[in-house]
């Protein structure tokens, strides 16, 4: 097994700076592969007593294999630093695009939510809770696919064990986290609902810039106000995820079959349509054929309207390509 060292890489431009170090673009000399090299100072880890957290992050992320989860290829260390060898996401943080464009068109938001949900479903299969889902922890690959990153707060929780640790970023916390009543993987479902709202509206649903306390109160009371300019299907998905009781939240592995996702993903819709009429749906994944057919008919009509609206959305400029009715970012 190869033992990595800094001599194996050519360092390029810095990609970003975090609390404990920097991330650089780097090229592995033998293969020429471009990676992201995260450099963390040991002194900072010791000072903040985060050695255990980093070890857990490496153990979890190094075992994950999903197209929409940032790959951790390996790690090494020297006297002063720890180095994480990560997959390179060429387009950087999704957050910077959200800041620039304020909000995303529904077609693009649906693409991102579908990809994030698929990755979260995979994490749940592996008994992993991310616990810090937010735009800053979502990266974009060169072809515009989402990559979930930063597993610093992630935890392995087999048998749906409830955890009591308070962690995460306030605007994305579920009621059970805010009230410290214990949490499980359903907090990631809640965060997905917050992300969906933020992608479409431009800000988290419960944020109060003047008062952190008010934000907590709004989260605990699920004080959700949905604007009129988002579709009924999007509103339904958001409210299905932002349920006070964790057990009532839409399961992330069912997000792909939600009408709002199907409306903008003809590939998924076509595959599901075939599976329905081949009687391959069983158990709690069964869906009503009549409702599904109605959804597909609505897709044909509403997609044309949405495509027309997107083509008039000139402010996207160089960040967006419209090609064969598919948006890439």
Does residue 80 carry a catalytic annotation? no
Quick one: pLDDT at residue 168? 65
CA dihedral for 314, 316, 320, 326, sign (positive or negative) = negative
Sheet strands side by side (includes 81-87):
9-17, 21-28, 34-41, 81-87, 72-77
The fold for domain 6-87 equals: Phosphorylase Kinase; domain 1 (3.30.200)
**pLDDT 10s digits, 45-59:** 888 888 888 999 999
Q: What is the rounded CA–CA span in Å between residue 273 and residue 289?
A: 9
Among residues 78, 80, 132, 286, the one annotated as catalytic is: 132
Euclidean distance between CA atoms 128 and 125, whole angstroms = 8
Average pLDDT, whole number, for the chain?
82
User: What is the residue whose two structure tokens read 């299907």?
Assistant: 233
Q: Are residues 246 and 176 in contact, defined by beta-carbon separation less than 8 angstroms?
A: yes
Region 324-329: mean pLDDT is 30
What's the Cα-to-Cα distance from 179 to each of 33, 184, 210, rounded to whole Å? 46, 14, 20
Residues 6+ apart with CB under 8 A from 34: 25, 26, 27, 88
Per-domain residue ranges of the chain: 6-87, 92-328
Distance of CA 141 to the CA centre of its chain: 13
Q: 92-328 in CATH: which number?
A: 1.10.510.10
Tokens of 311: 């083509």
Secondary structure (3-state) at 316: helix
Cα separation, 263 vs 270, in Å, equals 11
| Cα radius of gyration rounded to whole Å, the chain | 21
pLDDT band at 268 (very low <50, low <70, confident <90, very high): low
Q: What is the mean pLDDT of residues 218-230?
A: 95
Instruction: State pTM to two decimals.
Output: 0.80
Roughly what angle, to the nearest 10 degrees, separates helices 289-311 and 266-277? 170
Binding residues for ATP, by number, are 19, 38, 42, 87-89, 136-137, 150
CA angle, 72 as apex, 87 and 97 as ends, to 5°? 45
Rounded (10°) angle between helices 289-311 and 106-125: 130
Is the pLDDT at 277 greater than 70? The verdict is: no
> What pLDDT is recorded for position 47?
87
Mean pLDDT of 117-139: 95
User: Is there a shared CATH topology between the 6-87 domain and the 92-328 domain?
Assistant: no
pLDDT tens-place string over residues 100-118: 999 999 999 999 999 999 9
Q: For residue 75, what are the β-bridge partners? A: 84
Reference 42, options 34, 51, 33; nearest CA is 51
Phi/psi for 266 (5° steps) reads: -65, -35
pLDDT for 265 equals: 76
Give tens-digit pLDDT for 150-191.
998 898 887 665 544 555 689 999 999 888 777 778 999 999
In terms of DSSP bridges, do strands 81-87 and 72-77 run parallel, antiparallel, or are they unpaired? Answer: antiparallel
* Binding-site residue positions: 19, 38, 42, 87-89, 136-137, 150
């Amino acid at each position: 097994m190869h033992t990595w060292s800094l001599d194996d890489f050519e360092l390029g431009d810095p990609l970003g700076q975090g609390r404990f170090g920097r991330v650089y673009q780097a090229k592995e000399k033998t293969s020429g592969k471009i990676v992201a090299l995260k450099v963390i100072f040991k002194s900072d880890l010791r000072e903040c007593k985060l050695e255990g957290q980093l070890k857990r992050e490496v153990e979890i992320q190094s075992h994950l294999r999903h197209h929409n989860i940032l790959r951790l290829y390996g790690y090494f260390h020297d006297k002063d630093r720890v180095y994480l060898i990560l997959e390179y996401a060429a387009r950087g943080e999704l957050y910077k695009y959200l800041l620039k464009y304020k909000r995303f068109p529904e077609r693009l938001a649906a693409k991102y939510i579908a990809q994030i949900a698929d990755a979260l479903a995979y994490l749940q299969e592996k008994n992993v809770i991310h616990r810090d889902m937010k735009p800053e922890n979502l990266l974009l690959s060169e072809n515009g696919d989402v990559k979930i990153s930063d597993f610093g707060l992630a935890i392995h929780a087999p048998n749906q064990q409830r955890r009591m640790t308070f962690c995460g970023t306030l605007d994305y916390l579920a009621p059970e986290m805010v009230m410290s009543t214990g949490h499980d993987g359903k907090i990631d479902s809640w965060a997905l609902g917050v992300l969906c709202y933020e992608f479409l509206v431009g800000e988290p649903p419960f944020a109060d810039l003047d008062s952190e306390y008010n934000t907590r109160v709004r989260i605990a009371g699920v004080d959700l106000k949905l604007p009129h300019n988002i579709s009924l299907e999007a509103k339904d998905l958001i409210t299905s995820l932002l349920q006070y009781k964790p057990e009532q939240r839409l399961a992330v592995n069912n997000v792909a079959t939600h009408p709002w996702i199907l409306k903008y993903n003809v590939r998924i819709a076509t595959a599901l349509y075939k599976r329905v009429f081949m009687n391959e749906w069983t158990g709690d994944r069964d869906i009503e054929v009549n409702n599904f057919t109605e959804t597909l008919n609505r897709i044909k009509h509403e997609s044309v309207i949405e495509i027309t609206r997107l083509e008039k959305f000139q402010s996207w400029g160089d960040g967006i390509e419209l090609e064969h009715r598919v948006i890439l970012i």
